[in-house]
């Protein structure tokens, strides 16, 4: 079975991606390959950040073995009424060391009184596959709207409590993980990755 290192320190993402990729590959965490620390993401596009994160792991591990590839994802929440912000800066929207709650507070304040609450999540995955020379990219997108207050229940992270995908009456945070995985930005990008890996 092919083994791929997933360049993330986010345990929510790790379990989402493991569930979605179940089958064609074994997803190895950074901890399992003995890597810790902040992964740099200083590019100004999702694609640039995904590449930077995956390259960081390859450089740290010094690997390009036949069986061990690396992939990384970068996600942005793009809000129409905010001209696409916070976008690539979604993680640090409310400041360098802000919490998910700080980001949500800032977003709700920025949209206060605005009628248009349309938004989308976009994910770009970069795969550095030892069998190909160039990085490969896979994308996923989900459209929806920003709620006026948090709807939380159990699972979820980031902006999940205030994002309601189209055709659903609940926020991402209120959905079981397997449902979120089927329709989410990251789920769709991972599906595209899985299809490539199976082919
Ligand atoms: P990252 O750089 O890919 O980790 O994503 C940037 C930020 O987007 C994260 O810090 C979260 O705030 C947010 N984000 C990414 N994925 C999700 C998701 O599935 N739900 C809610 N927020 C997310």
Give the position, in ligand 1's atom list, of the atom nearest the Cα of 73: 3
Mean predicted lDDT score pLDDT of the chain: 91
CA distances to 10, 143, 187 from 163, rounded to whole Å, are 19, 9, 15
The predicted-structure confidence for 128-169, as pLDDT tens digits, reads as follows 988 888 999 999 999 999 999 999 876 668 999 999 999 999
| Secondary structure of residue 71 in the 3-state scheme | strand
Query: Which residues have a Cβ under 8 Å from the Cβ of 33 and sit 6 or more positions away?
Result: 5, 57, 61
Q: Is the pLDDT of residue 101 over 80?
A: yes
Residue to mutate, 75, 100, 189, ligand 1, most ligand atoms under 8 Å from C-beta: 75
pLDDT average, residue stretch 7-31: 85
DSSP secondary structure string for all residues of 107-162: HHHHTTT-S--EEEEEEEEEEE-TT-SS-EEEEEEEEEEE-SS---BSB--TTGGG
How much is the pLDDT for 122?
A: 98
CA of 108 to the centre of ligand 1 (A): 16
How much is the pLDDT for 25?
A: 83
Instruction: List ligand 1's pocket residues with C-beta within 6 A.
Output: 10, 41, 73-75, 77, 90-91, 100, 103, 157-160, 172, 184, 186
pLDDT average, residue stretch 7-14: 88
How much is the pLDDT for 199?
A: 79
Residue spans of alpha helices (H) in 39-99: 46-61
Q: 102, 18 in Cβ contact below 8 A?
A: no
Annotated catalytic residue within 22, 44, 74, 166: 74
Active site residue 74: yes
Share of the chain above pLDDT 90, in %: 67
Q: Whose CA is nearest to atom 12 of ligand 1?
A: 158
Q: 81, 64 in Cβ contact below 8 A?
A: no
């Amino acid at each position: 079975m092919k083994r791929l290192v997933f360049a993330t320190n986010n345990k929510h993402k790790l379990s989402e991606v493991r569930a979605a990729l179940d089958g064609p590959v074994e997803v190895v965490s950074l901890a399992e390959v003995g890597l810790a620390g902040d992964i740099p993401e200083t590019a100004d596009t999702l694609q640039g950040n995904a590449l930077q994160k995956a390259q960081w792991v390859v450089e740290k591990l010094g690997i390009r073995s036949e069986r061990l590839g690396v992939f990384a994802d970068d996600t942005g929440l793009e809000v129409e009424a905010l001209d696409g912000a916070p976008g690539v800066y979604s993680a640090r929207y409310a400041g360098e060391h802000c919490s998910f709650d700080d980001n949500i507070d800032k977003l709700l304040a920025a949209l206060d009184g605005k009628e248009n609450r349309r938004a989308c999540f976009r994910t770009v995955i970069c795969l550095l596959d030892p069998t190909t020379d160039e990085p490969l990219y896979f994308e996923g997108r989900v459209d929806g709207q920003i709620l006026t207050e948090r709807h939380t229940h159990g699972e979820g992270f980031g902006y999940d409590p205030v994002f309601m995908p189209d055709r659903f009456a609940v926020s991402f945070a209120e959905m079981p993980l397997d449902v979120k995985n089927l329709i989410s930005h990251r789920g769709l990008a991972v599906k595209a990755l899985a299809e490539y890996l199976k082919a």
